[in-house]
Chains A and B, each alone.
Chain A
């Protein structure tokens, strides 16, 4: 399978616990994105990496959230001290930088559904 993969697919946790999600992008893609989607809404951008550099962060990414992409391949998204409002689907996407420098389309993974009790 050469698509974007995410683990785990589901996570149930208690309020106050820390959780970490992993995303493996399509192998030749150098750009990686995290989004959050709540029920009935479109995905909301959280952050974006080009190789290992985190180039853009949304205001939604509070200080309890941290994302890393240490070797420019897979990425992790950690949420500390989870709150019930963090319950959502967390989506990862990847894209390949175009020849002219422009972006190519973002391909999405299946998501990690987080439920905070």
Chain B
């Protein structure tokens, strides 16, 4: 069975603050993918990043960075110098790296509010 836990239900920050969204996962699969998606108020899920389980290099894309630590089963997401447009619900997700099984298991999401 797979499980994704996003313990932070809601986070509120002031613009330009850095913020980290936590994600902890459980899986019996030895190889898997991890994802982050953004769901703005408009409702459509927007893909942000995919990592596979054998690549633990951290990744940076502009103001976004991701810290994958297999030893602690965590895949945390940091937004540097947050902006009001970052306000959204962010979901962490997990899927097996297996051609027959492709379902994404999502966490319950973290609502980020960035105040001006």
Q: Are A103 and B95 in contact (CB under 8 A)?
A: yes
Judge if A27 is at the interface, Cβ distance under 8 Å.
Answer: no
Judge if A84 is at the interface, Cβ distance under 8 Å.
Answer: no
A-B contact pairs, 27 of them (CB 8 A): A33-B102, A35-B104, A42-B93, A43-B91, A43-B104, A45-B105, A48-B102, A55-B102, A56-B100, A56-B101, A56-B102, A56-B103, A89-B43, A91-B45, A101-B99, A102-B97, A102-B99, A103-B95, A103-B97, A103-B99, A104-B50, A106-B47, A106-B104, A107-B47, A108-B37, A109-B44, A110-B43
Closest A-chain residue to B52, C-beta based?
A102
Mark interface residues in B26-49 (1 if CB within 8 Å of A CB, else 0).
Answer: 000000010101000001111100
Closest B-chain residue to A43, C-beta based?
B106
**Which residues of B have CB within 8 Å of A106?**
47, 104
A residues near B (Cβ < 8 Å) are: 31, 33, 35, 40-45, 48, 55-56, 58, 89, 91, 93, 95, 101-111
Q: What 8 new A-B contacts, CB under 8 Å, besides A35-B104, A43-B91? A: A31-B102, A33-B102, A33-B104, A42-B106, A45-B103, A58-B103, A102-B99, A111-B43
Return B46 CB to nearest CB of chain A, in Å. Answer: 8
Mark interface residues in B72-116 (1 if CB within 8 Å of A CB, else 0).
Answer: 000000000000000000010101010111111111110000000
B residues near A (Cβ < 8 Å) are: 4, 33, 35, 37, 43-47, 50, 52, 91, 93, 95, 97, 99-109
The CA-CA distance from A44 to B47 in the complex, in Å, is 16
Q: Are B44 and A44 in contact (CB under 8 A)?
A: no
The CA-CA distance from A95 to B1 in the complex, in Å, is 23
Closest A-chain residue to B102, C-beta based?
A48
Closest A-chain residue to B46, C-beta based?
A108
Q: Are A105 and B103 in contact (CB under 8 A)?
A: no
The CA-CA distance from A109 to B93 in the complex, in Å, is 17
